[in-house]
């Protein structure tokens, strides 16, 4: 396929702006199951009109249903899918493993795209999604050009399309791995209600005061190299933005794709219509650092107001983007006919019976000049011919009526698509809540954090890249030892593959996968796979999927409430994140490093209320952790259907770790500073 320009459509006006500015495709949301629930979005009637509007103009429509779905929502989500199948969009963008599986079963002919919320950033991740039936993968924004090139080669081999964000807002966290908004305010970014927490003031030592706020991305000048790397779709972020922004971005990328060059005027328009102290190419160029950070300054707002009116002209009128072949036939005593074709659809309009000419007979030149007047429509005449009987006359009004009728008929044909077949499926039944005494699984940064006694602990996870001596030392303890594959696997696929084989040779047989791309690597090493909360397993259907993928035990999402956790059906044991500092963000641009303090590879970031959030580095990424540990040791009787309690130790001393473990064995009272997470309130 030719390189696609994919535009955001948060409203009908933005959709029209995108199409008229030259988008090849648009993506939009409906209902409560898309990652921009605060956009205007579209109801069923609006969707029908929007899809027909786009299809008439040769523009593809992708519908985002890319949030995590609870068990209580799955039936309603599938009703939304049924409605969408009747409207026949070109693809659905999904993130929830269970919803992907349910849609594949109910509507096997519907093309599925894997959302950036799935955190795919390795060739192995693309392979795994390909095996699950995903036709296109939306890659993580944090990839460098070298990483994109490697993934592009694998995608080409697999026949999987790749989509990459090239313009718009950059999240501080890897998409799908941000829980900051949910933990602090109950508004889950994974469920479409991100509160934009990272745009608030957060500071590190020697920082800027807004050390989680990145500039907007712009890869306008990199279009040629992206196409060479195998990127099929250039995605513009902005379903919450104004139509003028959408039009300016689409127009600039349209010009760059078609002409192979970038106008300075387009760059200036893009920066003026919306930026945060300018743009960045940061991750793409592999140059992370302070230059990537920016905020929406006063000058940015002033520039935006000045340019908005001028940009409105970009989408004021129809874009003539659909080429036609036209044939006119005018014979004596027979109604004139006009046949138009767009290469796929053919429509013939029937007009008046021609009269014998008194003065000037109808000529081919005059007839075709009248018929070519397609202004105000999306059509233009590429080729045309006319067969006109000798001495016949047809008035200008008759020719115009023929043209109008033919184009209206073609419009009707282009707007119609056969619905995608949808069949009823049986969703997993609810499970009766049953209390059972769970086992204890712990995760530590290194063996120096392990206490002398591990009462009641059945499994200890060490980092995959822990030193061999540490792993050997842990294996001498009277407890099973596993390794934890890092959530951030950027540029590490080969290293992870080799390391898994090495630790297997040392005696490790179990590994924890926090990213879907880790699953096949662990299996290739001949090890048992257990799933971490980075997989965002939110419902029973997702539990079936991970079990089918070969996962033997799964930690459920810590964004679920305890009531929701008591519901899921699962044929594999379930784990619950029960102690530790909840992960808030997975970062590839370390704020501490930008402040210049990397001496201990740890640090913290402080908010405007003087609350301190630890930062810890691992394998080239940084984890932003919650300010207080999660504590459930005094509420164990309220936890149902859980086999393992997952205790995460990050900065505790061995003595503290031992005391906490004992509390979870006996049911101890919480410390002075703690949180219950979202387990008692859930997330929106």
User: Are residues 572 and 555 in contact, defined by beta-carbon separation less than 8 angstroms?
Assistant: no
Whole-number Å distance between alpha carbons of 48 and 43: 9
- Chosen domain end from 267, 283, 315: 315
Q: What is the dihedral of CA 354, 360, 361, 367, to 10 degrees?
A: -90
User: Are residues 604 and 626 in contact, defined by beta-carbon separation less than 8 angstroms?
Assistant: no
| Same domain, yes or no: 335 and 465 | no
Residue 208 resides in a domain: no
User: Are residues 319 and 378 in contact, defined by beta-carbon separation less than 8 angstroms?
Assistant: yes
Residue 446 resides in a domain: yes
What 3-state DSSP class applies to 495?
Answer: helix
Q: What is the CATH number of the domain that holds 265?
A: 3.20.20.70
Q: Average pLDDT for consecutive 10-residue bins of the chain (684 residues)?
A: 94 96 96 80 93 98 97 95 98 98 98 98 99 99 97 98 96 97 95 92 88 94 95 96 92 93 84 80 89 72 65 86 97 97 97 94 96 96 97 96 98 96 86 78 92 94 97 94 98 98 98 99 99 97 97 98 86 96 96 63 88 94 97 95 96 95 95 96 91
Residue 234: name the closest of 249, 248, 245 by CA.
249
| Same domain, yes or no: 158 and 52 | yes
Phi, psi of 581 (to 5 degrees): -80, 115
| Same domain, yes or no: 9 and 66 | yes
Residue 60: name the closest of 106, 1, 102 by CA.
1
Residue 29 resides in a domain: yes
| Same domain, yes or no: 305 and 332 | no
User: Are residues 250 and 237 in contact, defined by beta-carbon separation less than 8 angstroms?
Assistant: no
Task: Give the residue numbers spanning the domain of 491.
Answer: 439-582+629-666
| Same domain, yes or no: 452 and 485 | yes
Residue 599: the pLDDT is: 46
Residue 384 resides in a domain: yes
User: Are residues 527 and 534 in contact, defined by beta-carbon separation less than 8 angstroms?
Assistant: no
CB-based burial, 369-384: b 16+ in 10 Å, e otherwise: ebbeebeebbbebeeb
The DSSP letter of residue 173 is B
Residue 176 resides in a domain: no
- Chosen domain end from 315, 343, 368: 315
**DSSP track, 354-412:** PEEPSSS---HHHHHHHHT--TTSSEEEEEEEEEE-TTEE--HHHHHHHHHHHHHHHHH
| Same domain, yes or no: 387 and 498 | no
| Same domain, yes or no: 234 and 262 | yes
Residue 409: the pLDDT is: 98
User: Are residues 244 and 184 in contact, defined by beta-carbon separation less than 8 angstroms?
Assistant: no
Residue 232 resides in a domain: yes
Strands (E), 107-249: 112-114, 136-138, 161-168, 202-203, 216-218, 233-236
Residue 426 resides in a domain: no
The total of structural domains in the chain comes to: 3
Tokens encoding 532 = 């971490």
- Chosen domain end from 315, 348, 381: 315
Q: What is the CATH number of the domain that holds 456?
A: 3.20.20.380
The DSSP letter of residue 479 is S
| Same domain, yes or no: 402 and 263 | no
Report the first-to-last Cα separation within the chain, whole angstroms. 39
Helices (H) and strands (E) in the chain, counts: 21, 30
Residue 343 resides in a domain: yes
| Same domain, yes or no: 306 and 161 | yes
| Same domain, yes or no: 470 and 395 | no
| Same domain, yes or no: 462 and 500 | yes
pTM for this entry: 0.95
| Same domain, yes or no: 224 and 292 | yes
CA 598 to chain centre: 32
Residue 361: the pLDDT is: 96
Q: What share of the chain is helix, strand, coil (3-state, %, to 5)?
A: 35, 20, 40
């Amino acid at each position: 396929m030719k390189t696609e320009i994919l535009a955001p459509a948060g409203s009908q006006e933005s959709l029209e702006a995108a199409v008229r500015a030259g988008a090849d495709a648009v993506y939009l949301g409906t209902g409560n199951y898309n990652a921009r629930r605060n956009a205007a979005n579209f109801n069923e009637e609006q969707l029908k009109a929007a899809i027909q509007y786009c299809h008439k103009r040769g523009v593809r429509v992708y519908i985002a249903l890319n949030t995590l779905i609870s068990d209580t929502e799955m039936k309603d989500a599938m009703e939304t899918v049924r409605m969408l199948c009747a409207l026949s969009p070109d693809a659905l963008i999904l993130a929830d493993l269970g919803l992907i599986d349910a849609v594949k079963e109910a509507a096997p002919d519907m093309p599925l795209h894997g959302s950036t919320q799935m955190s795919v950033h390795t060739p192995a991740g693309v392979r795994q999604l390909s095996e699950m039936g995903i036709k296109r993968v939306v890659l993580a924004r944090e990839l460098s050009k070298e990483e994109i090139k490697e993934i592009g080669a694998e995608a080409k081999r697999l026949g999987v399309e790749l989509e990459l964000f090239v313009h718009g807002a950059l999240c501080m966290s890897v998409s799908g791995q941000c829980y900051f908004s949910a933990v602090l305010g109950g508004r889950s970014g994974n469920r479409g209600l991100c509160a934009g927490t990272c745009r608030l003031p957060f500071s590190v030592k020697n920082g800027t005061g807004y050390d989680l706020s990145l500039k907007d991305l712009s890869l306008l000048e990199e279009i040629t190299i992206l196409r060479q790397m195998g990127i099929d779709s250039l995605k513009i972020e902005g379903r919450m933005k104004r139509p003028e922004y959408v039009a300016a971005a689409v127009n600039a990328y349209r010009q760059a794709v078609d002409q192979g060059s970038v106008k300075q005027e387009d760059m200036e328009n893009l920066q003026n219509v919306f930026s945060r102290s300018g743009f960045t190419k940061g991750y793409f160029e592999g140059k992370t650092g302070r230059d990537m950070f920016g905020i929406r300054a006063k000058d940015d707002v002033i520039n935006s107001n000045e340019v908005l009116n001028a940009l409105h002209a970009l989408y004021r009128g129809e874009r003539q983007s659909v080429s036609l072949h036209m044939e006119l036939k005018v014979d004596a005593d027979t109604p004139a006919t006009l046949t138009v074709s767009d290469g796929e659809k053919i429509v013939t309009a029937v007009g008046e019976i021609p009269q014998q000419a008194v003065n000037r007979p109808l000529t081919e030149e005059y007839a075709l000049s009248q018929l070519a007047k397609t202004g105000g429509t999306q059509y233009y005449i590429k080729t045309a011919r006319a067969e006109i009987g000798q001495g016949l006359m047809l008035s200008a009004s008759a020719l115009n009526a023929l043209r109008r009728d033919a184009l209206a008929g073609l419009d009707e044909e282009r707007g119609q698509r056969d619905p995608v077949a949808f069949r009823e499926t049986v969703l997993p039944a609810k499970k009766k809540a049953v209390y059972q005494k769970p086992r204890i699984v712990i995760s530590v940064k290194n063996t120096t954090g392990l206490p002398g006694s591990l009462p009641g602990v059945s499994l200890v996870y060490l980092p995959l890249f822990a030193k061999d001596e540490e792993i050997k030392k842990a294996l001498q303890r009277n407890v099973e030892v596993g390794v934890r594959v890092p959530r951030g696997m950027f540029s590490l696929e080969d290293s992870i593959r080799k390391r898994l084989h090495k630790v297997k040779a040392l005696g490790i047989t179990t590994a924890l996968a926090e990213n879907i791309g880790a699953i096949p690597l662990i299996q290739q090493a001949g090890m048992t796979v257990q799933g971490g909360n980075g997989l965002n397993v939110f419902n029973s259907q997702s539990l079936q999927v991970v079990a089918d993928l070969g996962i033997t035990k799964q930690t459920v999402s810590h964004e679920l409430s305890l009531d929701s956790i008591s519901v899921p059906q699962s044929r594999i044991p379930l784990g619950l994140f029960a102690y530790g500092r909840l992960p808030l963000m997975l970062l590839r641009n370390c704020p501490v490093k930008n402040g210049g303090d990397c001496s201990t590879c740890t640090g913290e970031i402080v908010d405007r209320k003087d609350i301190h959030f630890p930062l810890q580095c691992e394998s080239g990424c940084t984890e932003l952790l919650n300010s207080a540990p999660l504590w459930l040791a005094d509420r164990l009787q309220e936890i149902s259907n859980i086999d393992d309690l997952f205790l995460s130790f990050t900065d505790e001393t061995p003595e503290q770790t031992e005391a906490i473990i004992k509390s979870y064995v006996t049911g101890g009272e919480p410390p002075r500073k703690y949180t219950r997470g979202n387990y008692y309130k859930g997330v929106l």
